[in-house]
A and B are shown apart, each in its own frame.
Chain A
Amino acid sequence: MKVASWKELGIAALIALLAALVPLVFDAYWLSVSVTAMMYIALCTSWALFSGPTHYISLATGAFFGIGGYLVGTGMSDYEVSFWVMAAISPIVATLLAALIGLATLRLSGVYFVIFTLGLAEMIRNLVSWIQNNFLGSRGLYVLTDFTESHIYWMLLIIACFVYLLGWLVARSRLGFALKIIGNDEAVAKHVGINTAMSKVILFMTTGFFAALVGAVIAPRYTYIEPNQVFSPELSFLVVIMALLGGAGRLWGPLVGVIPFTLIWEFVSIQAPNSTTLFLGVVFLLIVYVLPHGFVGRIEQLNKKLREGRS
């Protein structure tokens, strides 16, 4: 058990090392696809830290991501604060917001939690747009930096590694064990002495922190930012779908969901730009009917069959 988990970490480190070489090998087009993939890897892995064990499906990723991008935009173009300062402030703001949301939604479960997070993300988007339009004058914001795509890629890779390492540590901690119990049966969790509210809020704050950090780091890529664009609800759905496609039950699950999904998404967007929503729907049906536990579930099922066949 112990050896296997160290091995898992070793393999992850090796993959990260190989991933770091991507900008040196790929051309501009594939690098840009890789940046998108890396962004989703970081987002989906951190989403799964909370939603994987607890089965609470959060659609608030877009809101936290948006806070990251928007704060970097407004800080840099309206107040001339440096990128680094804004990239440090925005995750903290998002974490505080996540704490508030967490405390407010403690009593919600199942579909109520899902709808609440979606509504909340929309509310934040509209609120920011409204403030921007009515009080701050300009509608769009400029994020001008010297970063190249490679820089952004490497920063995202570092974030993804941090998320992974954190997830690895959490999975081996009391907190991780508590979340697993909460996902199984919240009533039992309380009666064995777990502070369920606290555990859930801590993890929710973590996902908020990382989503905002990713949003902040990726902002220079867009150069010009509109609140409506960075607070995109589509992003929230994409994160959920990719994470579930890979399988949210394992730390490396989102990774195996993001890569094929991003490639096909890229292909569909170029070949049939009007069919992306259709594609999203098809993938969702695929998850529900064929891959309820994602690729990870299927892989583990096959593994088990092979082992049983051998013995």
Chain B
Amino acid sequence: MRYSGSVLSVSGVTKRFGGLVAVDNLSFDVSEHEVMGIIGPNGSGKTTMLNMISGVFKPSMGVISMKGGRISDLPAQEIARRGVGRTFQLVRLLPTMSVLENVVAGAVFGHRRRWGREAEDQAHQMLERVGLEAMAFAPISSLTYIDQKRLELARVLAGDPEVLLLDEWLAGLNPTELETGIELIQDLRREGRTIILVEHVMDAIRSLCDRCVVMSSGVKIAEGTPDDVLSDREVIRAYLGDDDA
């Protein structure tokens, strides 16, 4: 079933929290250098799906594998070492450390492990990459919201992830910041990274994603190019309700 070139594959994954089925028998593949969007209304299970890939939760059923190796029964740190990096829906930084140290944290224990000078050089490069180099020695408390998001991204990139998971990385940005943000992800895309993004910003989805999976109430209701899925009747119904479909 799995075609070659698939980096990450999710097959038949279900997650139950007590009686609630957050993700219901979901399957999809992500191939190398592909940017894939997971979209859907609030509460449709997108973040839960991301959490299962990164190892926060284990699936109740089904298998997630990376390059043919099963990762769904590994702890989060092991998945990170295999090359899955993620940002969080609510930005998570290390408040007692400097901007630079925050990025070094990503470089030291990640997919490629560095230490000392090498880790610091890598961190400086990543800060430059996201446009935050000028703030390298600033305390976290001095960062604006977009800068916090940039910093989190720099930390993730510092570990050289093969698969990048972005959980609503563009949410909460103002229009100018949004433009900067989309450009940044465009750049990553051009570098040929494999990215899975959970997103609500439709402009971003259209301009960034090669393919989208649409979820509603934990179930996959559509899959295809952004234009295709966004004109799908089922998808419109999930977002807007029956009357508009």
Contacts and interface: CB of A to CB of B under 8 A. Distances in A.
Interface of A: 174, 177-178, 180-181, 183-185, 187-196
B81 to A, nearest CB: 5
Contacts of B110: 192-193
A193 B95 contact: no
A188 to B, nearest CB: 5
A184 B81 CA distance: 20
A191 B104 CA distance: 14
Contacts of A181: 94, 97, 105
Contact of B159 (A177, A189, A190, A192): A192
Contacts of B105: 177, 181, 188, 192
B216 interface: no
Contact of A192 (B56, B96, B97, B106): B106
Interface of B: 54-56, 75-77, 80-81, 85-86, 88, 92-97, 104-106, 108-111, 113, 115, 155, 159
A184 B96 contact: yes
Nearest to B75: A190
B137 to A, nearest CB: 12
A191 B80 contact: yes
Contacts of A191: 54-55, 76-77, 80, 85-86
A194 B109 contact: yes
A189 B75 CA distance: 12
Contact of A188 (B55, B94, B108): B94
B157 to A, nearest CB: 12
B3 to A, nearest CB: 29
A103 to B, nearest CB: 14
A260 to B, nearest CB: 26
A177 B115 CA distance: 10
Contacts of A188: 92-94, 105
A199 to B, nearest CB: 10
Contacts of B159: 192-193
A54 B30 CA distance: 37
Given A185-B92, A190-B80, A177 B108 contact: yes
B77 A190 contact: yes
A48 to B, nearest CB: 15
- Counting chain B CB atoms within 10 Å of each CB, the highest count among A177, A185, A193 belongs to A193
B94 A193 contact: no
Nearest to A180: B97
Contacts of B85: 191
A183 B77 CA distance: 16
B80 A193 contact: yes
A93 to B, nearest CB: 30
A247 to B, nearest CB: 13
B97 A193 contact: no
A192 B96 CA distance: 17
A192 B80 contact: yes
27 contacts: A174-B115, A177-B104, A177-B108, A178-B108, A180-B96, A181-B97, A181-B105, A184-B95, A184-B96, A184-B97, A185-B93, A185-B94, A187-B56, A188-B92, A190-B76, A190-B80, A191-B85, A192-B77, A192-B109, A192-B110, A192-B155, A193-B80, A193-B81, A193-B109, A193-B159, A194-B109, A195-B77
